[in-house]
Amino acid sequence: MRPAWVTGTRSRSAVPALWTVVFVVAFGTNVPTPLLLVYRDVLGLGPTALTAAFGVYAAGLIPALLLSGPASDRLGRRPVVVPFVVLAALVSVLFLAAGSSVLVLFLGRFLQGAVSGVVFSVGTAWLGELVGEPGRSARLTTIALATGWAGGPLLAGLLGQWAPLPTVLPYLVHVALMVGALAVLPTVPESLGPERRRTAGPVVNLGVPAPARRAFVLVVVPVAVGVFAFPSTAATVLPLLLTAQMPGIAVAVAGIVAGVTLSTGALVPPLQRRLGAPVAGPVGLGLGALGLGVALAGLALAAWPLLLPASLLLGAGYGLCLASGLATVARLAPAGERGALTGTFYACAYLGFGVPFVLSALAGDGGLTGPLTGLAIVSAVAALAVGLPGARRLAAA
């Protein structure tokens, strides 16, 4: 149920308003993704530098996740989230100069990570408390994040390919959206009352209840890493490898692949509800492994159209992993620890953003087929392990 102080007309408008804020911030985080191919040409970046520019996002995000959740459990949700929503708009303004500066590109991605770490973890807990039902709030959050993450690169890819000012115009669109998000944010009330806040505790608190530690380590963590390992590989590594087969459309295709992958994730929460969180997690990992297999076939055949079915499978895998993980975390954590545990889940999930860089580093001069094959095998093994009856019982306990 909603907290007693969240009542009346304001409470009815609070959920769609906060949903909009989360959506718009998520939209901006992936605007640079298809533009990496543009930055490669205008800044002279190699494959390793490109994947590092993508992955430095996690370097800003993971500390923000671990610090912001416990802070919001003590101070409340609003005081932590609002400044970082403002920062999200300022970061898009900063990106206007990224087309002429490698430093600005890396700094912008780092700051995007910090913004995301705060808004996604604390915003998820905030939205969950306003909704009052863990399953429904997990689905709403998954849809907000997935549609935002999908819309940003899709629009940026199309504008980056065919519109003027490809490294400027996509960010101006996001700044305009942020103005709207900032306008509705004041209508969202605080959801964590003083009596439910933590009055003491460590600055960094993982928020994992002692009885749930085995379930978190053995089930939630593998599912969490799969959340972003799949879409980050689809959005960066695969288009980069097949650029030569896509003359004149590579940036647009990169945006479409990212958009399809991430928007597919927005469509699967109803499937997660039917399967239940303990089953949806291993199914998501298995679909991700299958999508990587289709991508490997596309690389072997130099057939870039196979990126589309691969992105559909990888997107379904990511969406099921995200919805399953959020539903499990909402059930595991008491109210005073929910911000911390949600942040810990996202910190584990965003480790997947480092997968493209790891793949590139492992490939060296030998190509990415071997590392991608290894990732597919690891994903399949993880799906089997998390799908064992004992693991499902842990997740459902």
Delimit the domains of the chain by residue range: 13-188+209-396
Tell me the whole-structure pTM to 2 decimals: 0.78
Q: What is the pLDDT of residue 114?
A: 92
Report yes or no: 226 and 285 within 8 Å, Cβ to Cβ. Answer: yes
Report yes or no: 305 and 252 within 8 Å, Cβ to Cβ. Answer: no
Q: What is the pLDDT of residue 202?
A: 59
Q: What is the pLDDT of residue 1?
A: 43
Instruction: Give tens-digit pLDDT for 329-368.
Output: 877 766 666 667 777 887 788 888 888 888 877 876 667 7
Instruction: Give tens-digit pLDDT for 282-333.
Output: 999 999 999 999 999 988 888 888 888 999 999 999 989 988 888 888 777 6
Q: What is the pLDDT of residue 206?
A: 62
CA angle 305, 310, 313 (to 5 degrees): 145
Q: What is the pLDDT of residue 337?
A: 66
Q: What is the pLDDT of residue 239?
A: 79
Crossing angle between the packed helical segments 355-363 and 369-386, to the nearest 10 degrees: 140
Q: Tokens in use for 193?
A: 């009352």
Q: What is the pLDDT of residue 338?
A: 66
Question: Residues in the chain, how many?
Answer: 397
Helical (H) or strand (E) element with 49 = helix 47-75
- Residue 364 has a CB neighbour count (10 Å cut-off) of 11
Which among 73, 337, 118 has a CA at the least distance from the CA of 208?
337
Which range has the worst mean pLDDT, 4-8, 143-147, 171-175, 244-248? 4-8
Compute the Cα dihedral for 224, 104, 102, 261 and give only its sign: positive
DSSP state for residue 245 in the 8-state scheme: G
Instruction: Give tens-digit pLDDT for 130-148.
Output: 887 767 887 788 788 888 9
Longest dimension (CA), the chain: 62
Assigned CATH for 13-188+209-396: 1.20.1250.20
